[in-house]
Chain A
Amino acid sequence: MTSPYSNLPSEAFWRSAVTDRAALDPGNLFSPRFPVTRAMKVVTAGSCFAQHVGRTLRQAGFNVQDAEPAPGQVSDAVANQYGYRLYSARYGNIYTVRQLVQLLDEAEGVSAPALPVWEKDGRFHDAQRPGVEPDGLDDAALVAAHRARHLTAVRDVFYSADLFVFTLGLTEAWVHTQTGTVYPTAPGTIAGSFDPAQFSFKNYGFREIFADFAAFRKRMMERNPKMKFLITVSPVPLTATASGNHVEVATCYSKSVLRAVCGSLYEQFRNVDYFPSYEIITSTNNRGVYFEPNKRSVSAQGVDKAMSLFLMAQGAAPGAAEVPRRTGAGAGPRVKRGKSSAEADADVVCEEALLDAFGR
């Protein structure tokens, strides 16, 4: 051997793996550590990019759990406005790992967040998910009642997971200074008001995030020792930073920390897999085309590319939801069946209700 690099595969070399790769070819960036099967109960959570992950898995026929389902006939667009069908429960975006741990704490009755209700224009919002009721609720007691039901659903669905999918989104957050309660949005943005005496900026570091996720994993595995975890880093840059740095610099720092945490979690725990959605979307091979003109939102094309790669690596064709197989007497080519007696009666009833009135 002339060099430790001489026998490495082509993916190990930038020229063959990136320079010579066709533009927009996502390459072979993902080799699953374990298979994700359609029998697995999949629970999704995380920052906004996780919505795409959940939706893609659902459309591909994976068993994505929904502990707080909206009525089936309501359109996705309207259901989504109220926090339904985004994740496995109506928790909205969970940007930080600390918030994920805090949610589990609250669901298990370990602790309760400080200042749980935020008010705006006489309407009351759940501070931990202020976006799920865009118009707010009538009073704080109602917010508490809805949250109590939500926490039951969270506990049930978390414990039921065979695969927990989490997208790490941010390191920056706003916390209640005295207690450390973390919020998904800064007070005063969707609801509430910002009081510097009560709230402070927090930029979670590597050790804190790693420890939080490791603790979360351990607690979940106490309920289901076979539980697996699939983690990703959101490729969506920060909307704003309170770090004092340029937002691009702050984004790079934030994503670097999250990516490093994922790498370490992957290295340390065999039931943790990492899916490189961040790398797929931000690769220089894409010339930025997977971002919308605001250079922040990931385009539908980018989402599709990333998730197609995931599905292909898992041996699942994109968009190919499994159709229940018909067996037994009903199997074989579809034929138009005749109407049952009850249906025939109903037809006659309708016909007579109309024509009898006209003195047929």
Chain B
Amino acid sequence: MTGKKTLRLLATGNSHLGAVKLAWDRLALQYPRVEVQFLGAPRETFDSFARQGSRFGLFDESQVPKRMLEGMKAAMPALIVDLADFDAVLAVGPDWGEIVLLGLLQRFGVDGIRPAKGAMDMLSAGAYAAFCADIAATSRAVGVVKKLALGPVAVIPRPIRSELILQSTEADGRQFQALAGHPDGMIAAIGVHQAAFARVIAGHGAAVIAQPAETLAPCGLTRSACSIGQKTVTTRGEARVVVDVVHMTADYGAIVLAQYLDRVVAGDLG
């Protein structure tokens, strides 16, 4: 893909596609021979996207709330695309077992990687690597790649939850508290899972643009600076301030998207 012909890319995914779209708005001028078409939906709807022959997208609109469907139609050029029209596909935001992994690393230490503390059990490095591969193999990302695998596919997996979640007193926040109290070896342990995930995805003919280590806090959660954080949402007619610990900023999107674009332009992704 190093010729002068325009490179047509499809970027598809769940709500994490938003950060990539904002990043593309900034980066587009740096990649004049690249065209990107976006096709996304919030997770539950994106999970219902299917492939029929070479066509991919939302074939059954009946389960999508009307307001969301209208928003998607206004935002995307099409809700069904022909994969054959694209030189490569980028899947954005599927889970890769990272939440399961964080739960595991609160319960277990790993030989040579993460010491056990208090009542934690210990895993051998071999068992941990095998467990990571197993968790990765059953993650949603594998299903997404299988649906899209007509040409070169790369995955930007869902970012790990923001460390802002530690400030939450809800169950979601409490479940990660132990990580803050015992961050030893978390980055290395996540690296093992990233490598296992990349091997699993490579087994399906796709590549992974992993979350860069510099975006992670020592406890393994994403640095708060990368995440959207506080915002106001209106539900049931009532405006509320919430902390978005799931989605990342355009800056984060630019880091991972640039990695992808550099590789795909260089012909490094099949």
**Footprint of B on A, CB under 8 Å?**
68, 70-71, 73-75, 78-79, 81-82, 133-138, 142, 145-146, 149, 341-342, 344-360
Contacts and interface: CB of A to CB of B under 8 A. Distances in A.
Contact of B15 (A68, A74, A82, A353): A353
B40 interface: yes
A142 B123 CA distance: 11
Given A135-B126, A350-B15, A354-B40, A71 B235 contact: no
Contacts of A341: 235-236
B28 interface: no
Given A349-B244, A350-B246, A351-B68, A357 B18 contact: yes
B220 to A, nearest CB: 16
Interface string B230-244: 010111100010101
A227 B122 CA distance: 30
A348 B127 CA distance: 39
18 contacts: A71-B108, A71-B135, A73-B138, A79-B131, A137-B124, A138-B125, A344-B236, A345-B233, A349-B244, A349-B246, A350-B246, A351-B42, A353-B244, A353-B246, A354-B40, A354-B41, A357-B17, A358-B74
Given A71-B135, A81-B130, 9 more contacts: A68-B121, A71-B107, A137-B124, A344-B235, A345-B235, A350-B42, A356-B18, A357-B19, A358-B75
A355 B135 contact: no
A75 B134 contact: yes
Q: DSSP class of B's interface residues: helix, strand, loop or mixed?
A: mixed
B233 A352 contact: yes
A357 to B, nearest CB: 3
Contacts of A350: 14-15, 42-43, 246-247
Given A71-B108, A142-B111, A82 B127 contact: yes
Interface of B: 14-19, 21-22, 38, 40-43, 68, 71-72, 74-76, 97, 100, 103-104, 107-108, 111-112, 121-122, 124-127, 130-131, 133-135, 138, 170, 228, 231, 233-236, 240, 242, 244, 246-247
A349 B231 contact: yes
Given A73-B100, A82-B130, A353 B228 contact: yes
B267 to A, nearest CB: 28
Given A133-B124, A149-B122, A348 B233 contact: yes
B239 to A, nearest CB: 11
Contacts of A146: 122, 124
Given A137-B124, A149-B122, A353 B108 contact: no
B21 A358 contact: yes
A351 B15 contact: yes
A360 B14 CA distance: 16
A348 B41 contact: no
A353 B247 contact: yes
A186 B14 CA distance: 55
Nearest to B74: A360
B125 to A, nearest CB: 8
A354 B231 contact: no
Shortest 9 CB-CB distances between A and B: which pairs? A358-B75, A357-B18, A350-B15, A135-B126, A353-B247, A357-B21, A78-B134, A354-B15, A350-B42
Contact of B71 (A74, A78, A136, A351): A351
